Homo-oligomer: A and B are copies of this chain.
Amino acid sequence: MSTEPKLNAIPRDALKNIKPYEPGKPQEELKRELGIGKSIKLASNENPLGPSRKAASAIRKAIKRLNRYPDPNCFKLKKALSNRLKVREDSILISNGSDEIIVLMLRAFVNEGDEVIVGFPTFLIFEIQSIAQGARVIKVPLRDFRYDVCGMLSSITPKTRVIFLANPDNPTGTYVNKYELDNFIKSVPENIIVYLDEAYFEFAQAEDFPDSLGYLKERSNIIITRTFSKIYGLAGLRVGYGISSPEVIDCLNKVREPFNVNSLAQAGAFAALKDKRYVERTRQLIREEKQFLYEEFNSLALKYIPSATNFILVDTGFDGVLIFKELLKQGVIIRDMKPYKLDTFIRVTVGTKQENKKFIRVFKEVLNKLRSS
């Protein structure tokens, strides 16, 4: 009889403090667990239009060569991005989702015991991966749901190596404007990495939204990350990119796995980049439907945070986990905000017209029941 083996290998101390990230519930899981086959998912800020046809067609063509390793340098995609963004090719790194760049950056620049500064609440992976790297995470609370850039600046110590900013932010949907960011960038010592996660920047239409690429001309310490998961509708493919000085990109490449981006992702993203109509259709849908949701929230007398993105943070006035569970029973998947310590809030992704209507109908029922009990 074999005895159950115990773990004798000792994990790094840092692992003790990691609470795993909870992603939005996949629809297949809902089917398996609750038997609900027909559901809508407004939980992960995905593009509701399905992938662009041009991307789909490019992917189909690339299948026949899947026995070959991907291009380790993402030559074509990098060149296309370089032309589009007017930045040097060696200023770009393509990644397995833009979140891979968080890890590459930490592995390249952060030592055990170094400090990193994050907002709170914000995208949780900043914190989780920083802890995994052995960093001390300094959390600067948001003020009125916006980054407190002054508070972040005054949290800098000689041990600070990185400041993370999601712009626009997730889960609030707010943004740091041009004037705030200009000042911020100027005030951060150049030995500190400013990590600007711009996963949602294509949705941000305000005139005072900053043009972050401009900072790269004068600073080597800025990393900007973007993704094909949101406006380009390719979350399933895992492809994002980072833009920085060639010196920083070189450091990230040193710790990168040679084949981090799969070939279908490279082909799909390349085609999606050229599908300007798809991007425009998405922008228009989100603009119109966000308005619809705002109006519905107003009519329900609910507080929400005006959003520069494709999702909205709403205060339901009740326990968010309860709302999440009640909506789930009706086949509507959204996110409760408990991991972000916003206990009465939910975050809802802007879906198609039909999806948003269904969400509002079910949400109203749930709210009415709770309000009358």
Q: Which residues of A contact B (CB under 8 A)?
A: 2, 5-12, 15, 18, 20-21, 23-24, 26-29, 32, 41, 44, 46-51, 55-56, 59-60, 62-72, 75, 96-97, 99-100, 103, 107-112, 125, 129, 132-133, 161, 189-193, 216-221, 229, 233-238, 245, 247-248, 251, 253-255, 257-265, 268
Checking B26, B66, B238 against A51 with a beta-carbon cut-off of 8 angstroms, the contacting residue is B66
Whose C-beta in chain B lies nearest to the C-beta of A7? B247
Q: Are B26 and A46 in contact (CB under 8 A)?
A: no
**Most B C-beta atoms less than 10 A away, residue of A24, A48, A65, A189:** A65
Q: Are B67 and A48 in contact (CB under 8 A)?
A: yes
Q: Are B65 and A236 in contact (CB under 8 A)?
A: yes
**Bound state CA distance, A62 and B236, in angstroms?**
9
Whose C-beta in chain B lies nearest to the C-beta of A192? B9
**Bound state CA distance, A255 and B26, in angstroms?**
21
Q: Are A132 and B68 in contact (CB under 8 A)?
A: no
**Bound state CA distance, A257 and B319, in angstroms?**
28
Q: With A18-B255, A66-B268, A96-B238 given, can you name 19 additional A-B contacts, CB distance below 8 Å?
A: A5-B216, A5-B219, A8-B221, A9-B193, A15-B251, A15-B255, A20-B253, A24-B69, A26-B72, A29-B71, A46-B69, A50-B64, A50-B66, A51-B64, A59-B264, A65-B236, A66-B237, A129-B255, A238-B260
Q: Are A9 and B221 in contact (CB under 8 A)?
A: yes
Residues of B within 8 A of A32 (CB): 75
Whose C-beta in chain B lies nearest to the C-beta of A247? B7
Whose C-beta in chain B lies nearest to the C-beta of A267? B236
Residues of B within 8 A of A100 (CB): 257
Checking B12, B107, B190 against A109 with a beta-carbon cut-off of 8 angstroms, the contacting residue is B12
A–B complex contacts, Cβ < 8 Å, 30 sampled: A2-B217, A5-B216, A8-B190, A8-B191, A8-B221, A9-B248, A11-B108, A12-B111, A15-B251, A18-B254, A20-B253, A23-B72, A26-B72, A28-B71, A29-B75, A44-B69, A50-B64, A50-B67, A59-B66, A67-B233, A67-B234, A69-B236, A70-B235, A97-B259, A129-B257, A236-B263, A238-B262, A262-B262, A262-B264, A264-B264
- Least Cβ–Cβ distance between A169 and chain B, in angstroms: 19
With A28-B75, A64-B56, A236-B263 known as contacts, the answer to whether A251 contacts B11 (CB < 8 A) is yes
- Least Cβ–Cβ distance between A365 and chain B, in angstroms: 26
Q: Which 5 A-B pairs have the closest CB atoms?
A: A7-B247, A236-B263, A5-B220, A8-B190, A66-B236
- Least Cβ–Cβ distance between A289 and chain B, in angstroms: 15
With A2-B217, A262-B238 known as contacts, the answer to whether A63 contacts B69 (CB < 8 A) is no
Residues of B within 8 A of A41 (CB): 68
Residues of B within 8 A of A229 (CB): 69
Q: Are A5 and B218 in contact (CB under 8 A)?
A: yes
Residues of B within 8 A of A60 (CB): 60, 63
Chain multiplicity (copies): 2
Whose C-beta in chain B lies nearest to the C-beta of A272? B66
Q: Are B10 and A191 in contact (CB under 8 A)?
A: yes
Q: Are A2 and B67 in contact (CB under 8 A)?
A: no
- Least Cβ–Cβ distance between A31 and chain B, in angstroms: 11
Residues of B within 8 A of A56 (CB): 63-64, 66
Q: Are B29 and A70 in contact (CB under 8 A)?
A: no
- Least Cβ–Cβ distance between A196 and chain B, in angstroms: 14
With A5-B219, A245-B5 known as contacts, the answer to whether A12 contacts B110 (CB < 8 A) is yes
Residues of B within 8 A of A28 (CB): 71, 75
Residues of B within 8 A of A108 (CB): 11-12, 15
